[in-house]
Every structure is written in structure tokens, then in C-alpha cells.
Structure 1
Amino acid sequence: MQTRCGYIAIIGRPNAGKSTLFNRLVGQKVSSVSYKPQTTRHRILGVRTDQDAQFVYVDTPGIHLGGKKLLNRVLNKNALNALHDVHLIYMLIDRGGWTREEEHILRQLREVECPVILVINKIDKLAKREELFELLTLSSEKYDYAEIVPVSALKRDNIQSLVEVSKQYLPESAFYYSDEYLTDRSSNFICAELIREAAFVYLDKELPYATHVEIEKYDVSTDPINIAAVIWVEKESQKSILIGKQGDMLKKIGTRARKAMQRQLDIKAHLEIWVKLNKDWQDNPQVVGKYEQ
């Protein structure tokens, strides 16, 4: 049987639903999801293997304008680098339409040679079908897309149609990965992302963006697995908020993260979290460099 296989980059502005779509396509949660924008900081590989095709999806940080810190510049660079050496690109917009970020992404797409599928997400939020028609018309005038596919990643609407229409744009090839392969990211990475995701759930305003999580220990020789993590913040005041009164906030974050680890990684886990100070880590090349890996 002839098979197809290729890399597909998913790109868009923050909070367009890239990571939700990525997880739906892969069939399992790999990338962190939050209702707050710019949750994703790394390029993450996820693999979907069907009988006749293997799709290697690349989730990317949201393209954003105006960020002045080194971290902002690195995240944008990571996302734009993903446009090269892939066979297909999904440009994701949501039902809200076009912003400065989307126009910026379009300018970058004119420099690539591979086909681009425009994915219009969150169609379940549209009040009238006419709104979708207007968005389809406007979008088709902006770029020569290979396809335009409306979806709701949250509701799983039209996801299979997107998978099927994408096959023709992948080269004929043997599969790159085994059938069981899911992601290039380690258990340590997934645990760190789940802790950061829990922080996004419980913390308000800008504080989650000022956090950076590192796993210091992942000891599989114990039962349950012993995991030790550090949440780095930039200010002493942030540290106090993150810990909470008598440690209540940190306990809530830890409990949610531990349950997510056990569910997602199918493990029993004991999780300890410390909060430490690292001033201006978002402009520290040694720390930010870890997001280029």
C-alpha cells in the first residue's frame, strides 16, 4: 500500500486555538491549553498515524507584536522558523477575523513555497451562518490558499475533514516514526507544561506569564514516581501570590498538576513544588535559550 507522510506547521496568533487543534489532530493532549493567550512557548512535535498516512504536526508559539523582552523575540522566531522545512502549513484564524498579527503572518507566508491551508477555528461561536460566509469571502481574497477549512477544535467539528483534505499535500513516503510514537517531548517537559497550565488556571492577569517551570527531579525508581519542580518568578511579590496564604495557592496548583500528570502519563506521582526568584529571567539568555530547544 502506498503511504504518505509529512510535516505540517500550525501557525497563528495567540489564543486562536492552535494547541487545542494540535491535541485534537494528534488524538491526545500533548500541548498545554488555556483560555489565556500565549500559553505555548515551545515548538512541539505531535504525530498522528492513520492506515495510509502519517501526519507530523508542529505546534508553535502564537505570533504576537509589541513584545519587547528577549522571550517575546525568541517565541516569534521559533514560530516563524517552523514555516521552513515543512510540507504543509495550517494558518489558523478564529471566528473573530483578521488582526494585525494575521496580516503579519501573511507577509511571512509569501516567503514560503509549500501549500497553505487556512483553518478558520471556533465556528461554533458564530451566531449566524452568514458571518462564516463573509469571513470565507474576505479570507479568500487575501491569499491563494490551497484550501479553506472551517472547524471547531473545541467541539471536534470538521476535524476529520481537515485530516482527509491534508493527505494530498503530503509526499508519498514511508512513515518517519513508529505507529506508537506520539511526541518528541519527554515526560519531564510534559510535567513542566502541566504545572504551568495549572498556574494559568488559578492565577490572574499577568502573573502566569512571569513564571518559568523547571523539573529538577523525575525519579522513576520510586513508587509513586517522585517529581520535584521549581516555579521561577521575577518579583518577590509574585512569589507571595503564587504560594498564597498558608501555601493554599501552591497546593491547588500542585494538586491539579499532579492529577493531570497521572492521567496524561498514566503514572502514580508524588509532586513537590518550590517557588524561587530569578529577576528579569525573560531577558536572561541562559534561561530563554531553553525555549529554543
Structure 2
Amino acid sequence: MVRAVDGVDLHIDRGETLGVVGESGCGKTVTARSVLKLIDMPPGRFEDGQILWQGRDLIPLSMEEMDKIRAKEIAIIFQEPMTSLNPVYTVGDQIAEVIELHQKLSRKQAIAGAAEMLRLVNIPNPQRRVHDYPHQFSGGMRQRVMIAMALSCQPKLLIADEPTTALDVTIQAQILELMQEMKERFGMAIMLITHAMGVVAETCQRVTVMYAGKVVEEAPVEALFGDPRHPYTQGLIRSIPRVDRSAEKKQRLEAIAGTVPNLLDPPPGCRFAARCKFAMDVCTQAVPPLKEVGPGHFVRCVL
């Protein structure tokens, strides 16, 4: 058994953007899919804990009950839009399906609603493009279609799983700006999953840092970048290229030595200890608790 997500505690306030960061394989996507019960069961299962949505635990709910919450109250944008959109249906049909299901509109009204959503996400000629297929859109436009689909029922929470992956920098900025506009328009909260610390600094109010299935640090975004406390977070921030350094002061980017532990057989104690230059004997004996070191700033480290 692999505990892909092990004792992760998150909370998101109304109208807030929470960034969830960490390297590939740390449990970010499994956390996101777990919120909507989109993990394959079996073999996956919820071993323990709760997923509380406005005071209601989602874990005991049936798939039929979850279908009433998905898209309508909590929506998700998946990582790769080309594989998330069905290639044999028009984008209008795929958006309209969500609108028909949750808003009980006719097919004609749902298609009109889909065209309106395409207009909101700045896709030109929405009345015509609503009849196009996914392969007729660029990568950035497909991601806009995914955002339109996710927002078609005006959810209270949007989970965005690396929404700018594989997009060039200009399109990334446009997508992030669009998500911010939609957040303000609909008054929703966003859980933004990414490995790009620059994106977090630009868009989030709070940040959760994950490593090997656990939360190692959580803080307001200013505190995390201004005073990172966990050695893993410090390593992530030091690995970001700096454009404000002069050509005369060239420096190699700092890499975090070692590899992520195997979650089939996780090491005792702190899971980052084998890669940490501050590690002590106590670090390998027990998992450090998550301690508050400042207002809203929590760290899982004995130091």
C-alpha cells in the first residue's frame, strides 16, 4: 500500500486563492482528485480522515450524490486539456452537457450558454467556435475551453491542477489573468496546484508546500517568500532563476541533492531528512509535528 497523501490538512476560505506546490509525485494531484472523489476505487481508497465541504463530509457520499456537487459547487481544471476534452464531440456539446445536467435547461439553451461561456473566456467568434472540435483549437484556447466548462455552473470552488502546463509564457500569463478575472466575477475560491513558485507569488494569498505526501510548510504568500522556514521550501525558492542579477554576478542555480523517498517504504521520521543539510539524529526518529512559527505560518521541522 502507498500512502500517496498522508495526513494532509488544507483549508480554503471563500474568495481565496490557495497555492499547493511541490515537485512531481509529492501528492498534489491525488489531493485535488480526492476532494472530488475522482480516484480509482479500487485500488485507491480513503483510509482515514474527512473531506469537509461547507461542514458536510464528502467521503460517505455515493457517486450519485457527488455528481450533484461536481461542477455545480466544486469544479476542476485538469492538467492536460487535449486529453481532458473528448475529441469526437464539439466543445459546445461538452460544455452544454454540464449546463444541461445542473441547470435543467433545454439543449438549445445549453448550447447558447456554452457560447456565452466561450465569450467570457475571450474566445473569438464564440457562436461559430462552439461547433468546433478540440483539435481545431490551439493549446491555450483548449485551456480556455476547459476553464469555460469548469465555470459554466458558477462553482464556489475551482480546483486548477497545473492549468498552465505546456503553455508558453505569454499564454500562461493570459490564462492566469483570466482565472483571476473569473474569480472576481463569480466570487469563488481557487485551489491552484503548481510547481511554479513564480505563479504562486503572483496569484495566491496562501501557500501549502507538499513533500512526499505530507505538508511541510503552510504560510501567507508574503511570509513564505520573505521568510521560508522549512529547508525544502528554502531549496525551492533558491532554485528559482533571478532576472535581477547582473551579468557579472553569474551564479549556478542551487539544486536539492538526492531523490524523493520511495513511498512504498517511506523512511522513519522526516521524509526530507536524507536530502537536508541541517539533518540531525532526531530527524530520523519521529515525524516532526506541524508547528505554528508565526501568524498562519506552520512548519514541519524540528528546527
TM-score greater than 0.5 by the shorter chain: no
**Higher RCO structure (Cα 8 Å, ≥6 apart):** 2
**TM-score, with normalisation over the residues of structure 1?**
0.34
**Structure that is richer in strand per residue:** 1
